Amino acid sequence: MFWKEICYRKLNFLLALMGVVAAVTLVVVFITMTKASQNETRRLTRDMGFNLRIVPKETDMNQFWVSGYSNRTMPLEYVNKLVEAKAVEYAHITATLHKKIEWQDTEVILTGISPEELEPKAVKKSKMIFAIPPEKVYLGYELAKALKIETGDKIEVLGDSFVVAKTLSETGSDDDIRIYFDLKTLQKLVNMEGRINEIMALNCMCSTKGDDPLGEIRRVLEGIMPDTKVIMNRTIAVARERQRKMVDNYFQVILPVLLIICVLWIGAMAMQNTMQRQQEIGILRAIGFSTYKISMLFFKRMAFSGFVGAFIGFGLGTWLSLEYGPEVFKVTARAIKPLYGMLWQAVIVAPLFAILASFIPIMYAIGKQPAQILKED
């Protein structure tokens, strides 16, 4: 009787199916795009730059802020200490060495950057900053422009010859007067092997507890590296955290609203279907069919529409996400992928969702007495 009822009432079944398909499609698109939005937000806020700088404890902060770097040094091994401690959640840990010199009658900053950005959790992530080939240099915008130096040219620094691997775009900061080296290359060039004067890192404020994340980080670092101090760029840290929370809160509010709309939609169609079939229900009740048996007829149909709708909705939602998602989230477009785990969740949840959404309309329609139904018709 269940299959016969579906075949006889094809239009009503298709309308119910469309409701479930729409609900599953919306949820799949929403969750897929939510993940894409979160990835995009993480990437964009990451590109705001490092928010933690760890320098030697004896650093003169006046000199630090005037020069932009510490004139004191510390062992390169401190980077490994930080990675191994795993006490605070850092990412993109990068060792640097800076030295200001006179070069071609111009004051420049030599900067050595470690080729790898270490991750305490050993998770491979894309680099925040470039890696420079050994024996080559990157040249800041103003230096390249003023001295008419182009990519591929050779320059001499402190008696050694280097090939300019790249001239950088304008940043509007002191980075425009820097010459960038591989860390070991610069250490050797300035006779400071094994020494650095800064560790840069990225720290998410969500990884610390309480209202004083910098204080907590400093307390932890004091136990790991007591002869260092940490500086946090609060502007970047707070902006990153606020953006992350804004995105999370936005989607936490929108998803329930979408689900409520879908429930009302499916419920309205179930009500319409049952109200149009009042005479049939009255006749079935009059000839002896129980309320349970009639209700199961409707519920089975809704469960089947939920089962079929789960597959169609997942496919449609995934296609829409893959088709239009990259146009919205251009930075992380390649990271938008089908969430196959949602298919099996949809197969389980969609039938239950369809039944619950139609429960009240169905029970209301079949709860009337047969005589009352037939009298009304």
Residue 110: the pLDDT is 93
Structure tokens at 154: 């050779």
Residue 261: the pLDDT is 76
Assess whether 94 and 219 both reside in one domain.
yes
Distance, CA of 254 to CA of 324 (rounded, Å): 19
Number of structural domains, the chain?
2
Does residue 146 sit within a domain? yes
Distance, CA of 159 to CA of 154 (rounded, Å): 12
Q: To 5 degrees, how large is the angle CA 371–CA 373–CA 374?
A: 65
Does residue 78 sit within a domain? yes
Assess whether 35 and 82 both reside in one domain.
no
- What tens-digit pLDDT sequence spans the chain (377 residues)? 556 666 656 666 777 777 788 778 877 877 777 776 666 555 554 555 567 788 898 888 888 888 888 888 999 888 888 777 765 566 678 889 999 988 888 889 999 998 876 766 655 555 657 788 888 999 999 999 988 989 999 999 998 999 999 998 888 878 888 999 999 999 999 999 999 998 888 765 444 454 555 666 777 777 778 888 887 765 655 555 566 666 666 666 777 777 777 777 777 766 766 666 666 666 666 666 666 777 777 777 778 888 888 898 888 888 887 777 666 665 555 667 777 887 888 888 888 877 877 777 667 666 665 555 455 55
Assess whether 208 and 113 both reside in one domain.
yes
Assess whether 17 and 36 both reside in one domain.
yes
Helix (H, G, I), strand (E, B) or coil at 281: helix
Give the range of the structural domain holding residue 100, as residue numbers without chain letter.
Answer: 52-232
DSSP, residue by residue, 172-234: SSGGGGEEEEEHHHHHHHTT-TTEESEEEEEE-GGGS-SS-HHHHHHHHHHHH-TTEEEEE-H
Assess whether 206 and 251 both reside in one domain.
no
Does residue 261 sit within a domain? yes
Assess whether 311 and 175 both reside in one domain.
no
Q: Do residues 55 and 197 touch, judged by C-beta distance below 8 A? A: yes
Does residue 264 sit within a domain? yes
Residue 8: the pLDDT is 59
Residue 207: the pLDDT is 47
- Residue 164 neighbours by CB distance under 10 Å: 19
Assess whether 148 and 279 both reside in one domain.
no
Assess whether 178 and 222 both reside in one domain.
yes
Residue 205: the pLDDT is 47
Residue 137: the pLDDT is 92
Burial label for 21, CB within 10 Å (0-12, 13-18, 19+), is buried
Residue 219: the pLDDT is 73
Does residue 237 sit within a domain? no
Assess whether 221 and 153 both reside in one domain.
yes
Assess whether 133 and 9 both reside in one domain.
no
Helix (H, G, I), strand (E, B) or coil at 303: helix
Burial label for 225, CB within 10 Å (0-12, 13-18, 19+), is buried
Among candidate residues 232, 250, 281, the one where a domain is terminated: 232
Among candidate residues 232, 266, 295, the one where a domain is terminated: 232
Assess whether 314 and 354 both reside in one domain.
yes
Residue 171: the pLDDT is 80
Does residue 140 sit within a domain? yes
Among candidate residues 232, 265, 283, the one where a domain is terminated: 232
Assess whether 286 and 209 both reside in one domain.
no
